[in-house]
Structure formats: structure tokens, C-alpha cells
Structure 1
Amino acid sequence: KRPELTYAFFFMKILAVSDNVLAKLENRENLLQNYSQVNAVISCGDMPAHYLEFIVDVLNVPLLYVRGNHDVHYTAEHPGGDDLHGRVLHFGGLLWAGLEGCLRYNREPIQYTQSEMFWQVLRLYPAVLMARARFRRRLDVMLTHAPPRHIHDLPDRAHIGFNAFRLLIRLYRPRFLLHGHVDTHDAPLQRTYTRFLETEVININPAKVLEISEA
């Protein structure tokens, strides 16, 4: 049985993954040797359910995730863990929230128009305010699949970021916004860390280990 989402830490070490399967994370010995201090696995989407299940089962840690536009299979093959889409969660002494999907570029599910994502951002805002008042802290980590517009996004239709996420950063004031969707091998000079207002925007694709303090 995996740990419940009730622990509090002075800081959390997370393994964040998205979009691309890495052979080293399918190796049990490598996971135990190099990632045994991880407190949680975070997925920003487009990850096979069995891949996520293997990692969290080996490390025996909780999973938090949002779906990417290619995660339609989660309906039949659920990875377990907590889907953060449209939710705020208090875990490890931190406040987490999430929004799934990418900009609509075809008729497949888990895609949103710019206006639809504005609605998603505004609909989640009351829950963010309530959590902020209850736990007396700002939102710590926002999980998204797609990036904000003009931050780590690309010019092709499928990889344009959401304008709504720029509003989200202004309204929610998260300490971190973690996203995937954009492959750095498509743009080798692409930045993966950007400070926007009070928020560190990080492209975690394909995998990053991050330490997040309570402060």
C-alpha cells in the first residue's frame, strides 16, 4: 500500500515526469539507488499509466498528476494516485493545484480553447482562495500540462501555451508552475526555467528532481 497524502515535511523532494519515457526510470535498481529520497512522484501528463505505477510502486511514494492531451487511455487504465485537475490539495505541508490538457488543435479529448481554459482558471480560483485562507499560505505548486503563453511554448498550433495561465500566475500567485508538453529536443536552446512575477515556471519534461521547501 502506498503512503497516504498526510505527511508534512520541512521540504519535499519530488520526481517530476512528463511526455517521454526514460529507460533509467524503468530500472528498479536505478530508481532505488538514485531516487530513494523522493517523497512524491509528480506527472505533468502524457505518461503511460503503467510507467507511473511502476515508479511509485518501487519508490513507495504517492502520485500526483494532471492528464496531458494524449492521456485518453486513463479512462480504462488509471495510474492510481490523485488527479489534480480542477482541484486544490494540501499535501506535505504544501498547497497543490492542477489543470490538465493543451490548446485545442484537433477533435481529440483533453484539449481546450483559449476561452475554455480561462473558464477553468476562474472556476478553480475560489478553491484556491479558500485553501489560502484555511492553511494560511499561498499556493505552492501549480501543475499543468501545457505552458503559459510566451513562456516555454512553441509557435506551432499544438504547442502554443495558454494565455489563461498568465492570468493564473497573477491571480493564484503560485510559487512554482510545473508543466510538460514541450519537448526540449525539439528546441535545444529552449529555456526550461523562467521567473515570471513571483512564480518559477519550470518545464520538467522529461524528468526533473526538485526540492520544494515549506517557506
Structure 2
Amino acid sequence: MQILTISDELVPAVYSLNLKQRLPHVDCVLSCGDLPYYYIEFVLTTLQVPCFFVYGNHDGTQFLESGEQRVAPRGAVNVEGRIVRHGGLSIAGLGGSLRYKPDGAYMYTDAEMMRRTWRLVPSMLFHHYRYGRYLDILITHAPPFGIHNGPNYPHHGFKAFLWLMDRFRPRYLIHGHVHLSYGYDIGIESCYGETTILNTVGYRVIEVEPDSDCRL
């Protein structure tokens, strides 16, 4: 299965009328936050495939030029705090960043994110019983603590994600939030136990097959 992952930055090669010709075999889109909703809608409409998304720390109500308000991209599936099945894969989402100001939407303390993570446990246990694996892909906005982190606190990651990877071993954790264009000296692909962690700021195209490895 070919998957297009997007996050944080608008990329002309993606926001293009020839996207379908360039990526004819994409089976789904995963959006990791902080993108205009119209951009996500363009991608899923152009490719005519399902899109699963989480919110970033800069997301919230967005306004169109017509004045219409949007609280989510139309046609995309919100996977915040839940698991969905697609193409033989179990996909879950935990968006948002570390809380660095009191009034920010989609910001959480580590304790708050841990509670959100615990709420996924019953679903992961069910998926393990039904499909033989707790989780295939976790999409997040922020990275795990200590992995692909930026130098300042707002761009640090969550310890809760380490706990989830230790105990439930998702095959992939795909995140955004930490921009390489900011000059951060970070990795974009790492391994933690049995999990491959990918930073998808901008976009990436990956090949994922049930119970096989990731090919970039």
C-alpha cells in the first residue's frame, strides 16, 4: 500500500493539478496537523482516496475567503483518540503538542497526553485479539520525547508516546511539528524498539504492506 503523509508545510509539488499523475498509486493520505484545511481537501479530492488526520497545535477554526468557518477538512476522517481500519492496517491518532501557553487549542501536558493514550488501550487490545497486532500506524503531530525533538520546549515530544511504543509496539509512528527548514539538527527517521519513527514535515511517500517492513 502506498501512503502519502503530509504535515505543517504547503508543498507546491503536492498542491498541484498533476498530483494524481505523479502519484497514481497512493491508497490513502495521512495528515499530521498544522495545514490549511483547503490544502488537505485538495489533496484527498485530487487523489480520490481516504484521508486520516489529526490536529496540530496551530489548528482550530479556519476561515475561507467567503467567510465560511471550518473546524475540520471536509471529507477527511478524524482519528484523534481512536483507531480505524484501512487496507488491512490499524491506524490511530494523537494530535497536538506540548502545552506552552495556557489558552492554546490542541496543546497538552505530558500527563494529559498520557490520559489520552490510556483511552486507546481498550481499542488496541481488541485489535490485537481481532487482527493479531495492537496497532500498525500511530499518527501524531508532536514527536516522542527525545526523538526528533527541536531545541526549544514547544518542539519537544511526549513521554506518553514512548510508553505506548514500549507496550504496544506500533510498526510506525509518523509525526510533524519539527521543521527541518528551521535549521534544527534532527533526524527524520529513527527506530525505537519495533517502531519506525518518521518526521513528515512537508510530505513523504511510503510503502506499507500488512506485516512487512516500511520501504521509503
Give TM-score scaled by structure 2 length: 0.90
Q: Which AA in structure 2 matches 1:209?
A: V
Q: Which AA in structure 1 matches 2:24?
A: S
What SS does the aligned partner of 2:186 have?
Answer: coil
Q: Which AA in structure 1 matches 2:16?
A: N
Q: Does 1:45 align with 2:41?
A: no
Structure 1: distance between partners of 2:3 and 2:190: 19
Q: Which AA in structure 2 matches 1:53?
A: E
- Asked if 1 retains the 8 angstrom alpha-carbon contact of 2:84 and 2:92, the reply is yes
- Aligned-pair CA distance for 1:189: 3.5
Report the count of equivalent residues: 203
Q: Does 1:97 align with 2:92?
A: yes
Structure 2: distance between partners of 1:59 and 1:27: 11
One of 28, 32, 45 as aligned partner of 1:57: 45
Q: Which AA in structure 2 matches 1:41?
A: V
Structure 2: distance between partners of 1:172 and 1:69: 25
Q: Which residue of 2 aligns with 1:81?
A: 76
What SS does the aligned partner of 1:16 have?
Answer: strand
- Aligned-pair CA distance for 1:74: 6.0
Q: Larger deviation: 33-42 or 68-77?
A: 68-77
Q: Which AA in structure 1 matches 2:23?
A: Y
- Aligned-pair CA distance for 1:129: 0.9
Q: Gaps (5+ residues) in structure 2?
A: 64-68, 212-216
Give TM-score scaled by structure 1 length: 0.91
One of 163, 168, 175 as aligned partner of 2:164: 168
- Aligned-pair CA distance for 1:122: 1.1
Deviation sequence 1:5-50 (CA, Å, 0-9, x none): xxxxxxx101100000011211112x02211110011100011110
Q: Gaps (5+ residues) in structure 1?
A: 1-11
- If each structure's helix is expressed as a fraction of its own residues, which one has the higher value? 1
What SS does the aligned partner of 2:45 have?
Answer: helix
Q: Does 1:183 align with 2:179?
A: yes
Q: Larger deviation: 188-197 or 55-64?
A: 188-197
What SS does the aligned partner of 2:123 have?
Answer: helix
- Aligned-pair CA distance for 1:206: 1.0
Q: Which residue of 1 aligns with 2:214?
A: none
Q: CA RMSD, aligned part only?
A: 1.4
Structure 1: distance between partners of 2:158 and 2:11: 27
